[in-house]
Amino acid sequence: MRPLIGITCDYDLEADRIQLHSDYCRAIYAAGGLPVVLPYIDVEDVCSLASRLDGIMFTGGGDIDPHYFGEYPHYALGQVNPIRDEAEIRLCAWAMDNDKPVLGICRGIQVMSVAMGGTLYQDIATQLKSEVTINHRQTAPGWHPIHGVRLEPGSRISSIMGQQHIRVNSFHHQAVREVAPPFCATGRSDDGVIEVIESREHTFAVGVQWHPERMYRHHQNMLLLFKAFVEACSMSKP
């Protein structure tokens, strides 16, 4: 039986409308899972809904309110959504506490980091000092990998991808800054931006800064990530 995978979505506060790129659902389905989109209802009820699922995927979206990691808003901070922030951060902390498999994508890696007490660069272009300057907001099509990511030897992500250097797409201006336990940074771009975090203490808790769901049809190695996640979910007990 296909494992049931909850997928968080975006929430347009002005239009009062939830929305999600279908690629997230298609990628989970292509990897053998059954996708379920999670609405923004009462936070406690979202956790009780999640307790019936086999895993949770946190998706892309806007910026996280820096209040969650003890900072004032930087002038380059984008739009924040308090409803989505509160629900996702609580849900992620619950999932980690209950060892529910978690995959974070783009904003999702940031949600995972912040939920465990980590911090973010609110804007890497102005806050990250590096000799290598990569444009992490590509204008090339989403399926096209624009920069490299070096994966930590022996990490879960390198064993999933079967390589220690991969190429990824990039659609972000924020990034994980300080990683809090149980996470470790296990993948970085050439300018030092953290692009992968993972926990060795959990069944499956991996966050990636890129968008594998937009790549997997052109670059099949990206399906390996969804397959590893779905496989871990299929062994989790709801």
- The nearest distance, CB 195 to Mn ion, in angstroms, is 6
Among 84, 100, 107, 136, binds Mn ion (CB under 5 A): 136
Could you check whether the bond before residue 182 is cis, i.e. omega within 30 degrees of 0?
yes
Q: 170 or 186: whose CB is closer to Mn ion?
A: 170
Selecting among 88, 106, 147, 172, the annotated active-site residue is 106
Note if 144 is an active site residue: no
Distance of alpha carbon 117 from alpha carbon 215, whole angstroms: 30
Residue showing the smallest CB distance to Mn ion in the complex: 170
- Asked if 102 and 92 count as a contact pair (C-beta separation under 8 A), the reply is yes
With CB under 5 A as the contact rule, which of the stretches 15-23, 28-36, 132-140, 221-229 interacts with Mn ion? 132-140
With CB under 5 A as the contact rule, which of the stretches 19-27, 81-89, 110-118, 165-173 interacts with Mn ion? 165-173
Note if 25 is an active site residue: no
Among 119, 122, 170, 174, binds Mn ion (CB under 5 A): 170
Note if 231 is an active site residue: no
Selecting among 47, 198, 213, 233, the annotated active-site residue is 213
Distance of alpha carbon 182 from alpha carbon 66, whole angstroms: 21
CA angle, 75 then 80 then 83, to 5°: 155
With CB under 5 A as the contact rule, which of the stretches 17-25, 26-34, 62-70, 129-137 interacts with Mn ion? 129-137
Q: 84 or 136: whose CB is closer to Mn ion?
A: 136
Question: With binding defined as CB under 5 A, does residue 138 bind Mn ion?
Answer: no
Map 96-146 to HEC letters. Answer: HHCCCCEEEECHHHHHHHHHCCCCEECCHHHHCCCCCCCCCECCCCCCCCC
- The nearest distance, CB 122 to Mn ion, in angstroms, is 16
Residues 6+ apart with CB under 8 A from 4: 33, 34, 36, 52, 53, 54, 55, 233, 238
Specify the pairing of strand 4-7 against strand 34-37: parallel
Selecting among 88, 195, 211, 233, the annotated active-site residue is 211
With CB under 5 A as the contact rule, which of the stretches 23-31, 67-75, 79-87, 134-142 interacts with Mn ion? 134-142
Question: With binding defined as CB under 5 A, does residue 211 bind Mn ion?
Answer: no
Distance of alpha carbon 238 from alpha carbon 224, whole angstroms: 23
Sign of the Cα torsion 27, 33, 37, 43 reads negative
By annotation, the residues acting in catalysis are 106, 211, 213
Give the footprint of Mn ion on this chain (CB under 5 A).
136, 170
